[in-house]
Amino acid sequence: MRVPEDATRDFTAGAFIVEDGKILLLNHKKLGFWVQPGGHVEEDETPDEAAVREALEETGLEVELLEKDEKVGESSFNLPKPFNVNLHKIREGHWHCDFQYLAKPVRQIEEKEYADKDIKWLSPEELDSLEIPDNTRETALRALD
């Protein structure tokens, strides 16, 4: 069994934002390492909507997912497929199931609001110089391929 039976689980979503051979990561102050923008999927949204919302909230970037949804019939949609889905332990007894999407920046919104945040565009070579969880580094490198 991957997750202990009594463990709690949350659904999260994030965006690996790629442009010009670089990927955007942010320094998560609370956790002490670099990750893609992302967070919890709220009750009234789908994982793809959460990834777009979190990217905007955390970076000030409006993004577009590379995968699109597809209308199937009168009232049905196939949601954008995640680039990756990762299950990881946050702490003892609590896990996150993270829907990870590839995205590209569309435009910067309210840039001054994010000037004090530790956000960097990184090349594949630069990923080795920062404290990044293994699962994030591996997905970032695949996204840049």
Domains of the chain: 8-144 (3.90.79.10)
Question: What's the pLDDT at 31?
Answer: 82
Rounded Cα–Cα distance for residues 60 and 114 (Å):
6
How far apart are alpha carbons 28 and 143 in whole angstroms?
20
Determine the Cα angle at 121 with ends 139 and 82, to 5°.
30
Q: What local confidence, expressed as pLDDT, does residue 115 receive? A: 53
- pLDDT < 70 stretches in the chain: 110-117
Which pLDDT value is given to residue 113? 55
What is residue 81's predicted lDDT score, i.e. its pLDDT? 96
State both tokens at 137.
Answer: 């580094």
Number of other residues whose CB lies within 10 A of the CB of residue 91: 7
The residue among 96, 81, 104 whose CA lies nearest residue 15 is 104
pTM for this prediction:
0.91
Specify whether the backbone of 134 is left (phi greater than 0), alpha (psi in -120 to 50) or beta.
alpha
Asked if residue 121 lies in contact with residue 22, where contact means CB atoms within 8 angstroms, the answer is yes
